[in-house]
Structure formats: C-alpha cells, structure tokens
C-alpha cells in the first residue's frame, strides 16, 4: 500500500511563500489557465525563467496554492472550534471561518482550491483530497452533534454537502463593497439551517 503524499504549504521558505500568495490572487482573478508564468514572475518581480528554480512546473505552483488554502482554513476552524463554549457557537464557527477564508481580505487560496480542481493532474489529486477530507471531517463531527441535539436535520451527510455548496457559491455573488458584512452573512446563513 502506497503512502499518499500530502503536499505541505511552503511556510518554511519565504520566497516560495511570497510566490504562492501572489499566485493565489492571480489564479483566482484570471483563472489558472489564463495566468502565464510571465504574469507570475511579474507579480513577484522576477523573470519567468527564475520561477522554475522554485517550482518544477506551473502546476506545482497551483498545487501549493491549493494546499495552502485548505490547510490554513482547517487550522483556523480547529482553533475556533476549540474556543467555542457551546454547540451553537461551534455551528456558527463553521460558517464564520469558512466565509472569512473565502471572502476575507487576501484569502484567495481557498477559492482556487474550490474552482481550479480540473487543472490539477491526476497524480496530485490524492494528496489534496486527503487535506480536504480532514477539513470536512471537522464539519461532519459538529453537524452530527448538532443533529443529535435536534438543532439541525438528521441527514447530516447530505446536509454537510449542501451547506458547503452554499458557502462555496457565495464567491459568485457576494460583493465586499455591499452593506452585508461577512460575519453577518455567516449568521444569516446559519439561521437558515437551524430548526427553531
């Protein structure tokens, strides 16, 4: 049985990290395919050829962006859950952390993870799937506790998928310059799913 290599976000190296953060914004705004290695080099003040000292291929950059997006969100959620005193607070944390990671300032990486999946090679997918599953396991655990307490409906597997779908889709319509703050949106979305 082969061990699945889970890509780590490149926290250790500063130059790599700058590049990954810049790539996240470009990939989100223009899409991975439309972003050229020249664009990437430009964004960090580097010639396009120099990128390939840090990454072997353009796709390796994409995978690094995605790994960063999902792992940092997972970490934030784990912290928020540990700090939540009540089950209601835990539920609220699910929505709040996810939306802030998607819609907050300089938070492009998770969006890339969600919307550029098709450009990831088959070889790289398993590692990212492991990271995603860790994140969704946190959701599943809280939802099951909430269902047991009668706060949400019982079909928790499907509930998790529909809720995550609802949240992911916010990037398509949410406008940061509107009146609705991210935390307020999180609260309203939570209320839609709570059984009163």
Q: Answer yes or no whether residue 52 interacts with DNA by CB under 7 A.
A: yes
Site string for a copy of itself, 91-130 (x = CB under 8 A): ------------------------x-xxx-----------
Out of 165, 175, 177, 179, the only residue in the binding site for a copy of itself (CB under 8 A) is: 165
CA angle 55, 57, 61 (to 5 degrees): 60
Q: Answer yes or no whether residue 140 interacts with a copy of itself by CB under 8 A.
A: no
Cα 94 vs. chain centroid, distance in angstroms? 12
* Token pair for 69: 């997006």
Site string for DNA, 32-51 (x = CB under 7 A): ---xxxx--x---xxxxxx-
Contacts with a copy of itself by CB under 8 A: the residue count is 28
Q: Which is nearer to a copy of itself, 10 or 103 (CB)?
A: 103
Question: Which one of DNA, a copy of itself, none is in contact with 37 (Cβ closer than 5 to 8 A by kind)?
Answer: DNA
Question: Which one of DNA, a copy of itself, none is in contact with 117 (Cβ closer than 5 to 8 A by kind)?
Answer: a copy of itself
Point out which residues bind a copy of itself (CB under 8 A). Answer: 30-31, 33-34, 115, 117-119, 153, 155, 158-159, 161-170, 172-173, 188-189, 191-192
């Amino acid at each position: 049985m082969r061990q699945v290599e889970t890509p780590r976000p490149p926290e250790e190296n500063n130059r790599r990290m700058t590049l990954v953060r810049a790539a996240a914004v470009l990939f989100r705004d223009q899409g991975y395919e439309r972003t050229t290695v020249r664009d990437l080099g430009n964004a960090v003040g580097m010639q396009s050829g120099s990128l390939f000292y840090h990454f072997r291929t353009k796709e390796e950059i994409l995978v690094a962006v995605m790994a960063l997006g999902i792992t940092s969100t997972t970490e934030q959620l784990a912290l928020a859950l540990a700090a939540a005193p009540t089950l209601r607070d835990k539920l609220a944390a699910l929505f709040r952390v996810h939306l802030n990671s998607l819609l907050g300032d300089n938070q492009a990486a998770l969006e890339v993870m969600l919307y550029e999946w098709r450009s990831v090679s088959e070889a790289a997918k398993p590692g990212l799937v492991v990271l995603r599953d860790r994140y969704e396991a946190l959701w599943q655990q809280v939802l099951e506790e909430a269902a047991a307490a009668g706060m949400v409906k019982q079909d928790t597997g499907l509930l998790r998928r529909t809720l995550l779908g609802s949240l992911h889709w916010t990037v398509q319509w949410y406008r940061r310059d509107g009146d609705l703050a991210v935390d307020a949106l999180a609260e309203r979305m939570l209320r839609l799913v709570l059984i009163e």
